[in-house]
Amino acid sequence: MSIVRINAITVPEGAGDELLRRFEQRVGEVETMAGFEGFELLRPAEGNTWYVYTRWASEEEFLAWVRSPAFARGHTEARQQPVAHGAELLSFDVVLAAGPSVAEGAGQ
């Protein structure tokens, strides 16, 4: 099954809009990577920790993304002008998954 990598980013008060802007500018980069299955940027309902959720077919394909020129380009601004003051990478293996079921007779 897939793997999930979540980057928990601590953002100072008032900096969330800038973080969102930066991700909006580069979200298309990851979509072309082999093994990429999904991305979500999660804004906290409370607090100041945002979550970058990505799903990959394998660890090798995730690492290929992290080592790619596109990843480096996307993180250049973050190094030059940081918007966050802390980050932690959380790693998960998907061991059970479910999706919406189609109700019997739906769409008829």
Band (pLDDT 50/70/90 cuts) for residue 28 is: confident
In the sheet that holds 36-42, the strands lie side by side as 36-42, 49-56, 3-10, 86-93
Q: Which amino acid is at 86?
A: G
* pLDDT greater than 80 at residue 32: yes
**What residue spans define the domains of the chain?**
10-93
Chain segment 51-94, per-residue pLDDT in tens:
999 999 999 999 999 999 988 887 776 565 667 777 899 999 99
Q: Average pLDDT of 11-25?
A: 90
pTM of the predicted protein model: 0.82
CATH (residue range 10-93): 3.30.70.100
